[in-house]
């Protein structure tokens, strides 16, 4: 039975109850075993959430960025592993397929993504390439019937189980950003394989893999969008994805805040109350920035500045509140199995994924200094 998408208060209430029922009891085990049971995605699918943002005509339940943000925050409050996997599936796999795909590609991929029959992944990063995505080393060459891809991708979320990977490769590194194209790579493609899982500090249970392309052959219809537009497709997807990842970070911040508040309530004094007040102010600022970015996106207004600012702040706030919670709780919070310990490890990942903090600062700083904000930043940015 899908959760109600509107009003947002009903959506939040519905998702919070779902997360408490279906995800919270598994969160500790997901972290400890570094494994996400398949029933978690089935449960998300049962609520329609694997199709959030995908229009009903393509098998989804529709819904805008505000709704997505609320869902990712509430899920990440109990398990940012699940929130991040869902964010990648929806924001940087399904959304660009919807935006750039032709109807045949939409029909082939969006329906199974929306129903949760398959999981989606986004593969831009490489062993030697992260922030500087214009310099990909993964190559493709033209064949009689399509393309052949050779190279490898690194740190790919949902990498092992994904039914489709949106992957990026260059026809010639000398062409820089103009040489890059986007491809929809089905699981099982000959020459395409998944490397060892990576044993991470945080977001444990979220699959993070190397993907290997060894002369992987793809037909012409694997090309997403125009040839040579791959970097724009990737960066465009990441701008939208940042609101989702910021929402996941906000969920982690909220979980850290819950721990902090309980600790202060157990042992209140002026210093601890002041820490709680600062955490609340930070949490509220991050939420306001995310809402602003999501509202701008839903209204069709420019949102790049707002999305990067929201991601920058939410990731910082998640880390600082998680740190405060451990500080105030004290030694018990350093023990494996304590929620605050897991929250601190999970929080540390958010300044890195989908564009590091330094990259967000460069984007925001450049847009502001160039006067290229695309929105009124004089009184409310």
Binding site for ligand FAD (CB under 6 A): 88, 122-125, 130-131, 155-157, 200, 203, 208, 349, 352-356, 358-359, 362
Nearest distance from residue 153's CB to ligand FAD, in Å? 7
Task: Give yes or no: 227 in active site.
Answer: no
* Separation CA 159–CA 123 (nearest Å): 8
Comparison of 218 and 359: residue with beta carbon closer to ligand FAD: 359
Closest Cα partner for 228 from 172, 162, 149, 294? 172
Nearest distance from residue 236's CB to ligand FAD, in Å? 14
Comparison of 317 and 353: residue with beta carbon closer to ligand FAD: 353
Strand partners, 204: none
Cα 160 to Cα 187, 196, 211, 281, 359, distances in angstroms: 9, 9, 8, 39, 27
**Residue 124 phi, psi dihedral angles, 5° rounding:** -110, -50
* Separation CA 339–CA 193 (nearest Å): 35
Nearest distance from residue 56's CB to ligand FAD, in Å? 27
> Three-class SS of residue 171?
coil
* Separation CA 82–CA 79 (nearest Å): 6
Comparison of 185 and 349: residue with beta carbon closer to ligand FAD: 349
Comparison of 99 and 362: residue with beta carbon closer to ligand FAD: 362
Nearest distance from residue 35's CB to ligand FAD, in Å? 15
CA atoms within 13 Å, Cβ hemisphere of 363 = 23
Nearest distance from residue 344's CB to ligand FAD, in Å? 15
Identified catalytic residue from 354, 358, 361, 375: 354
Comparison of 74 and 126: residue with beta carbon closer to ligand FAD: 126
Q: Where are the beta strands (DSSP E) in the chain?
A: 120-123, 139-142, 146-157, 164-170, 180-186, 192-197, 208-219, 223-224
Comparison of 32 and 135: residue with beta carbon closer to ligand FAD: 135
Nearest distance from residue 277's CB to ligand FAD, in Å? 30
Comparison of 128 and 219: residue with beta carbon closer to ligand FAD: 128
Cα 161 to Cα 72, 86, 93, 186, 250, distances in angstroms: 20, 13, 14, 11, 26
* Separation CA 48–CA 136 (nearest Å): 35
* Separation CA 75–CA 24 (nearest Å): 9
* Separation CA 354–CA 209 (nearest Å): 15
Output the residue with the shortest Cβ distance to ligand FAD: 130
Strand partners, 150: 139
Nearest distance from residue 19's CB to ligand FAD, in Å? 21
* Separation CA 93–CA 71 (nearest Å): 17
Q: Are 207 and 157 spatial neighbours (Cβ–Cβ below 8 Å)?
A: yes
> Three-class SS of residue 269?
coil
Q: Active-site positions?
A: 354
């Amino acid at each position: 039975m899908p959760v109600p998408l509107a009003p947002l208060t009903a959506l939040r209430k519905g998702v919070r109850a779902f997360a408490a029922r279906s995800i919270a009891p598994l969160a500790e085990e997901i972290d400890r075993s570094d494994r996400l049971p398949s029933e978690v995605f089935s449960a998300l699918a049962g609520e329609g959430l694997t199709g959030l943002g995908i229009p009903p005509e393509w098998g989804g339940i529709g819904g805008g960025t505000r709704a997505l943000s609320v869902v990712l925050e509430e899920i990440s409050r109990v398990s940012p592993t699940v929130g991040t996997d869902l964010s990648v599936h929806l924001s940087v796999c399904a959304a660009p397929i919807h935006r750039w795909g032709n109807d045949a590609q939409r029909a082939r991929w969006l329906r199974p993504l929306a129903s949760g029959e398959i999981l989606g992944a986004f593969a831009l990063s490489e062993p030697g390439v992260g922030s500087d995505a214009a310099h990909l080393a993964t190559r493709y060459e033209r064949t009689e019937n399509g393309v052949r891809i050779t190279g490898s991708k690194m740190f790919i979320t949902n990498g092992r189980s994904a039914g489709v990977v949106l992957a990026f490769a260059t026809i010639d590194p000398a062409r820089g950003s103009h040489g890059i194209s986007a491809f929809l790579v089905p699981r099982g493609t000959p020459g395409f394989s998944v490397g060892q899982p990576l044993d991470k500090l945080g977001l444990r249970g979220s699959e993070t893999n190397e993907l290997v392309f060894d002369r992987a052959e793809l037909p012409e219809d694997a090309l997403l969008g125009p040839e040579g537009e791959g970097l724009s497709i990737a960066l465009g997807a990441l701008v939208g994805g940042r609101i989702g990842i910021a929402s996941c970070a906000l969920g982690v911040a909220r979980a850290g805040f819950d721990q902090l508040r309980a600790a202060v309530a157990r042992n209140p004094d002026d210093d601890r109350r002041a820490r709680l007040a600062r955490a609340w102010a930070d949490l509220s600022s991050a939420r306001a920035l995310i809402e602003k970015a999501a509202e701008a996106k839903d209204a069709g207004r420019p949102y790049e500045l707002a999305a990067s600012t929201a991601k920058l702040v939410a990731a910082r706030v998640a880390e600082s509140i998680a740190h405060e919670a451990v500080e105030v709780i004290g030694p018990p919070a350093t023990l494996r199995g304590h929620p605050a310990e897991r929250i601190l490890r999970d929080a540390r990942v958010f300044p890195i994924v989908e564009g590091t903090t330094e990259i967000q600062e460069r984007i925001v700083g450049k847009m502001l200094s160039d006067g290229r904000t695309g929105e009124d930043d004089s009184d409310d940015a």
